[in-house]
Amino acid sequence: MSSVPRNLSAMSYGDLSKLEQQIAALKNKQFEAAQAKIAEKGNELSAKLAKFARDLGIPPQNVPTITVAHNGNGHGAPRKGKTPRTQAAKKPSTVAVKYRDPANPTNTWTGRGMTPRWITKSGKQKEAFLIAS
């Protein structure tokens, strides 16, 4: 790889694109090397676990195997039962109104967050605005 100029903003678009491709290739190479090392360590651990189980007299079918999974985004395979992050987040649940302004019934408050001005300006305790259940 050729030397990178200190001032990237002085580089042309084409040179920046080439540099970006070189960086991506190096990242992929590093990633594949790391994955191979992880797989090798997993195989070593599996062999040690199998030997340990044999020494204890545990049947091979009762020994768990170690697998290294990867989903391509820098993390291991998603755990079962977990929703992928690409799905929409849960919609917030609605909370029942607990306080109402008798002077203006459209002024309501659930009791969460900051106390509304219509309560603080009244000079009364918030319990005075509590809705009877």
Domain boundaries, the chain: 10-62, 99-129
- Which of 73-77, 84-88, 128-132 is the least confident region? 73-77
Looking at the chain, the whole-number percentage of residues with pLDDT higher than 90 is 33
Rounded Cα gap, residues 36 and 42, in angstroms: 10
Longest dimension (CA), the chain: 81
| pLDDT reported for residue 111 | 92
pLDDT in tens, 98-128: 999 999 999 999 999 999 999 999 999 999 9
How far, CA to CA in Å, does 17 sit from each of 7, 13, 29, 36? 15, 6, 18, 29
